[in-house]
Amino acid sequence: MEGETPVIEQHIEHETENEIESGPIEPETPAKPTDEVQQPEEPQQEEPQQDEEPKEDDPKEEAAVVPRPPSYDNPRREIVPEAAKPVAIEPLDPTDAVIAENTNEFIRLYLDGCASFDVKPNSKIMTMLKGCDGNEECVDISTNYIGDRGMIAFAHALSKHESLVELNFAGNGIRNKGAQAICEMIKGSNTIQHLNLANNCLSKTAGKAIVEVIATCPNLQTVNVSNNKIDPDTRLKIMKALSRS
């Protein structure tokens, strides 16, 4: 028994040395409570990813693209400002030239009639009226195809002419209204002797107007209405009116 005692003492001494080296173990202090209450963060929901559709070319986006000026592609090329660009001068309308050169009373009356009936002035008629002084006896505008409205405008121009003897309006595409305007123009004339209305589109209505105007023109001798649509009975009435019977 005496041999085991030193072993126990050595063990006790060993434990005492370990306690001195490590020191006494202090108890852990609890964390102080804070006044702020932290709310738990809500978990973020991830949005489901959708399959991206292929984008089509938008024509508006293409139209919005502004092309670069030519000077960007070619720095040496100068851009001419709008004010410096040459302006194309349109050729002068012969009708305007006639008006500018000589505007008499007959031209003014003719343009008046054209404006009233929305008719473009005829260059041949304008040229003829240019030298008109009111003393002409014969007026020939045959085969000009001026139509009803053109004839009405021209009759308006001749309404102030007091020395007319012969009128040739053949082949102008005149219908009843044009013929009535002619009859109104020569109504009561003491100078008119010959009236040519051949190769037009006159019918019975125009024929009646001619019969009536013959009675107001004592010197009217011939009226040519061939190649029109005037019926035979109306033609016969025109012949009888001219014979003064």
pLDDT at 188: 93
pTM above 0.75, yes or no: no
DSSP state of 227: S
pLDDT above 70 for 220: yes
Domains and CATH numbers, the chain: 135-243 (3.80.10.10)
pLDDT at 104: 82
More confident residue, 161 or 232: 232
* Strand pairing class (166-168; 138-140): parallel
Q: How confident is the model at residue 244 (pLDDT cuts 50, 70, 90)?
A: confident
Closest CA to 144 of 125, 131, 126: 125
More confident residue, 239 or 77: 239
CA distance 120 to 150: 8
| 166-177 tens-digit pLDDT | 999 999 999 999
More confident residue, 114 or 62: 114
CA distance 195 to 206: 14
